[in-house]
Each structure stands twice: as C-alpha cells, then as structure tokens.
Amino acid sequence: MALSVLHGKHIILGITGSIAAYKAAVLTRLLIKSGAEVQIVITPAGKEFITPITLSALTSKPVISEFFSNRDGTWNSHVDLGLWADLMLIAPATASTIGKMAHGIADNMLVTTYLSAKCPVFVAPAMDLDMFAHASTQDNLELLRSRGNHIIEPAAGELASHLVGRGRMEEPETIVASLEVFFAARQTLTGKKILITAGPTYEKIDPVRFIGNYSTGRMGVAIANALAVRGAEVHLVLGPSAEQPLPQVCTVRVESAREMLAACLEMADQCHAAIFSAAVADYHPAETAEHKLKREHTEEIQLRLLRNPDIAATLGANKKEGQLFIGFSLETGKGHDEALRKLDAKHLDAIVLNTLQDAGAGFGGTTNKITLFDRQGLSQSFPLKSKTAVAEDLAEYLTSKLH
C-alpha cells in the first residue's frame, strides 16, 4: 500500500474552546493513522470540552497548553514548535481565536505558536451561524487569508444552538483529505535543486562599522521556505539576518558580497534554478581598518569605495542551458524600464520588480507588492500581500516553468 503524503509530516493541531473540540479526537486519530506526527496545543478553554489525557493517549505526546509546565523553570518553546512543524492546523477555531490570530493577541500558547510558525497554517472555523456571519469574523478571516493562511470553510447544518446554518466545523475526514490534497500539490519540485540569495550584505569599514542597507532577509527566506515545502532541495545563501529558515533549507550564512558570490559559485552549476533576492551592497570600502576608528583623532573620514561584484549578472553570464534564473529589482521610482534593462543585461529569465513608491513594499516590513516580468513577455502585477503570500506566488511561477 502506498504511503499517505502525510506520512512523516510534523503537524501541530491547535484546539480551542468549541463544542466541536470532540471532533479533534477523531481528527487526531486520522492524522496519526496517515503516518503524521501530531503535537497538540490546546487553549485553556479547549480543555473544558476535551481532556488532555484523551488527546495525549492518541498522540503519545504530552499535550501543550501553558507556557510553563512546572514551577521548576522549564517552559514550552513556541519558537521550537514553529520550526518543527510542516503544517499547523487549528480545528476547531473559535471566533475569539481567529480574532486573536488576525490581530496578534498572543495571550495563550496556541496563538503564540501560530505567530512563530514558519509552516503553512490551516484554520477550520467552528461557531454559531450568527457569529460566523458577523462582519468582524468575516473581516478577520479575510485578513488571515490575505496573509497566506488557508481557511477550511465550515459546513451548514444543525449547530449547538439547535439553529441551522453555516458554522459547523468541517468533518475530520474532509479536513484530512484537504491536507492530503495540499501536500500532494506541494511535492511538485521534488528532485529540483534551487539556489536562493537573501538578506543584506555588510561591508566592513572597521571591526564595528559597516556599509549596508535595511534589508531583513524576510522575503528571500519566505521564498526558500515555500520552495522547500514543495519538495525542492533549497540552498539558501543568507546575509546578516535574524530570520530563521525551515530546518530542511540548507543555509549558508555569509556577511559580505564577495562571500555571498563565493558561496553561490559553489552551487551554481548544480542548481536547476536560482532566485537572487538578496539586497547586495553595491560597494565595499577599499581598505578595512584593523582597529576601531576613533572620532577623537580626526574631524573627517574619507572612504574610498570599490564596486562589489554583481552576483546575478556573474552567474547569469555563465548560466547553463535549462537553468532558470530570477532576479529582484528594488527601485525608488516606477522602475519598469530599469527592471527590463536588468532582465536583459543580467541574462535572467524573469525579474521581480518592487518599488518604494508603493506603500508596504520593500525592506523591513511584512508585506510586499511586486510586478513579475519574464522573457516570454509576461508582465503581471500582484496586489499588496504578505511576504509569505508573495513567496507562494513566486513558487507557483517557478513550478510552472520547471515542469
């Protein structure tokens, strides 16, 4: 018998305070039967509807509910959970929890884990029909969708109030089937090696100062994660960044543009595709001081800057037949002409334009707004989205071109 696509997957199952929590036992059993490893995180209200001992017996794992398990200094790490998981499923999800997720109210272990999750998140609402239909609930669900979360729409039927309408949590069998379809569709890049550059580069002036930019690496890491989830072997060359890629992403951390280029050259010939999303510093100081420069010793410091290598152009000039290279172009104006110039000059197959003229785009934030150009004449503009959702759009494009 063929293994389920859920076999070996790490799934966080979040349970909240709804009468539909009784379905979580069946849902847990189905996930375990499919070969998934399930870690349950339950809200305090959820424990009023189904006991942790029941759930623990099904998963063979302690159920997590509180930040601190004992009074001995130990605690449950939401960060570790977020890195461990291949998928987070919140079923049932109450109106209260959906609102907290949408607005970042991290007052329990479940929402805190959600905010730390690097994986895809599925939400199965469960509530009375009037609560589900209320504008605030619908606005919160739309906000979650816009950030890349997947909503498993509730079914219609008799509810706990004995009213009839939409609000019943979808049946466990249907939820598991949805996850199977999702993972099956995501394995489209199995066997493909993809090189990603992300983050800024820092070019040293002295041991404590550097030339750099405002990039956080969030966009590039989101792309790396999206491709890894689709089964690709992802090699991420990451400049100075606090972002944490998924464990399955092979990450090489570098500091300078020249270090980034050297790391890319080691992988370039082996990869099927490359996405150059790093914000590489254009120049580096010609001389780096061995000791910290003291302002008391001089009124003025003159820096002589040398041009850094253009990583995308260097690799693009030596691109092998069949390889697909995608670049990024961050501009302060409209930028369309400049993006098309770079597409040609750097021998790229496609380029992603984002401009600081668009509110919410560019460095530092959690959102981006892009236009994608390619050599086949594509010019597709996307609305403002979370960087996670933008990464999914780019993963879809890359998948279509590699098959």
What integer pLDDT is reported at residue 246 of this predicted model? 83
Cα end-to-end span (Å), the chain? 27
Judge residue 124's burial from the number of C-beta atoms within 10 Å of its C-beta, 0-12 exposed, 13-18 middle, 19 or more buried.
Answer: buried
What integer pLDDT is reported at residue 296 of this predicted model? 81
Identify whether the C-beta of residue 83 lies closer than 8 Å to the C-beta of residue 74.
no
Report percent pLDDT > 90 for the chain.
Answer: 74
C-alpha–C-alpha distance, residues 14 and 85, integer Å:
12
Peptide bond connecting 285 to the previous residue in cis, omega within 30 degrees of 0:
no
3-state secondary structure 138-205: HHHHHHHHHCCCEECCCEEEECCCCCEEEEECCCHHHHHHHHHHHHHHHHHHCCCEEEEEECECCEEE
Question: How many CB atoms are closer than 10 A to CB 384?
Answer: 15
Radius of gyration of the chain (CA): 24
Among candidate residues 213, 225, 308, 368, the one labeled active-site is 213
**pTM higher than 0.75 for the full model?**
no
Q: Is 213 assigned a catalytic role? A: yes
Q: What are the tokens at 147? A: 């950030």
Sign (positive/negative) of CA torsion 110, 115, 116, 120?
positive
Chain centre distance of CA 249: 12
pLDDT digits (tens, 9 = 90+) for 366-390: 899 999 999 999 999 999 988 988 9
Is pLDDT of 221 > 60? Answer: yes
pLDDT digits (tens, 9 = 90+) for 131-178: 999 999 999 999 999 888 999 999 888 777 787 888 889 999 999 999
Identify whether the C-beta of residue 246 lies closer than 8 Å to the C-beta of residue 82.
no
Contacts of 347 (CB under 8 A, 6+ apart): 313, 316, 317, 319, 325
What integer pLDDT is reported at residue 160 of this predicted model? 76
DSSP state of 118: -
DSSP state of 76: -
What integer pLDDT is reported at residue 135 of this predicted model? 96
Give the residue with greater pLDDT, 188 vs 9.
Answer: 9
Angle at 164 between CA 161 and CA 166, to 5 degrees: 100
C-alpha–C-alpha distance, residues 259 and 287, integer Å:
17
